[in-house]
Structures are given as C-alpha cells and as structure tokens.
Amino acid sequence: MIAGIIDETNILPGRDCGPCALCCKVMRIEALGKPEGIWCPHCVPGKGCRIYETRQEECRIFYCLWRADPDLGDIWQPAHCKMVLYTEGMGHRLVISVDPGNPTKWREEPWYSQIKTWSFNLLRYGQVVVYVANRAIVVFPNKEVDLGPLKKGDVILTRENDGVWDAMLAAEDQLPQNQRGVWLDTGGRL
C-alpha cells in the first residue's frame, strides 16, 4: 500500500479517472464550501467536471490510491466499488471513503476481508478508517468503532490497552497530558 504523496508521476498506465468522479462526491472541498458526501455543483456525474480547466487547487492535487497503487486491483476502481481510497496523517491513516448512496458497501465481500487485512497489517503504527460523509468508523481486525460525525478540529485517536483496541475523537490539542503517547494520534481529516 502506497503511503506517500501521490502526484501525476505515480499514476499507473490505464488508471485514468474516465467517467468516475466519485471523489467529487465523497470529498469535502473547502474552497467551494462543499461538505463530504454530496455531489459538487460543478460535477456532471458520469461525465466529469464542468470547470475542469479552472477547478480548485484541492481538486488538482487529489489522486485516489487506486490510480497509483499496483496492489489495488480492478475491484477497487472507485466507480465500481463505490469507495475512494486515500491516506491522511502523513500516510499513517488509510481512508476508505464510501459513497453515502451505498453506505454499507465496505461490509460486502471481497472488500470487507481486504479492509480487515489492512487493519491487521497497520495496527501498530497506523489506522484504518471508513468515512461515510462526515461519519468516521475505525476498523480494527476484530471489531469496528463507530465514532459518529467528526467536528472541525477533531482528531481520531486509537490505542491498545491490555490487548483491547479502542478509538475516540478528541478536539485538537485537548488530549490530557497524561494521555499523550498512550493514544496514536494521526490527526484530523483532510
């Protein structure tokens, strides 16, 4: 799984967006005031961006993982699986951002087993989080923790305590001093 920044130099042959545009629905676009989970007013679903040449910087620099990661096969093509994968927190959080029109798609096979495998592999140094619009669900190998809606400034924290994994939200910089270093903090949402 690619953890670094993706730019046009990482894009694999044949991994074009085509008519996908799912990121224009699932992502928040700050400059447009567009929240997560609704179509951008500039998007024509199935066709693309009406203002492609003058689109926002946020749009220009975003490339989903499927476009660059050879480990993600065709089943992870976003328009097909209804999920957009990317990383946050300097690559320490794998995000599966699900189309709110298919909010439980990630629980279906073959995707669910792969998401659980990633959770197991990243457990000690990273997080796997499913977003459905602004709701965050942390995926652990043996359970999921639904954190509900994220507020601006919230960070997602995870920890292991006596073999039990847990997750919570905290306002940025509000974690008690004695809890710092106990929880893995990979920051807030993009």
Where along the sequence are the contacts to ligand SF4 (CB under 6 A)? Answer: 17, 20-24, 29, 40, 42-43, 49, 51, 55-56, 59, 63-64, 66-67, 78, 84
Residue nearer to ligand SF4 on the CB measure, 2 or 29: 29
Buried b (16+ CB within 10 A) or exposed e, 110-132: ebeebbbebbeebbeebbbbbbb
Residue nearer to ligand SF4 on the CB measure, 66 or 111: 66
Residue nearer to ligand SF4 on the CB measure, 87 or 158: 87
Q: How far is the CB of 14 from ligand SF4 (least distance, A)?
A: 12
- β-pairing, 154-161 vs 144-149, is unpaired
Q: How far is the CB of 11 from ligand SF4 (least distance, A)?
A: 9
Q: How far is the CB of 12 from ligand SF4 (least distance, A)?
A: 11
Q: How far is CA 105 from CA 69, 111, 142, 159, in A?
A: 21, 8, 19, 26
Please give the Cα distance from 66 to 70 (Å, whole number). 8
Please give the Cα distance from 177 to 183 (Å, whole number). 11
Residue nearer to ligand SF4 on the CB measure, 55 or 116: 55
Task: Identify whether the C-beta of residue 131 lies closer than 8 Å to the C-beta of residue 98.
Answer: yes
Residue nearer to ligand SF4 on the CB measure, 26 or 157: 26
Please give the Cα distance from 117 to 66 (Å, whole number). 17
Looking at the DSSP assignment, which residues form a beta bridge with residue 129?
A: 95, 138
Total residues belonging to the chain: 190
Q: How far is the CB of 131 from ligand SF4 (least distance, A)?
A: 13
Q: How far is the CB of 61 from ligand SF4 (least distance, A)?
A: 11
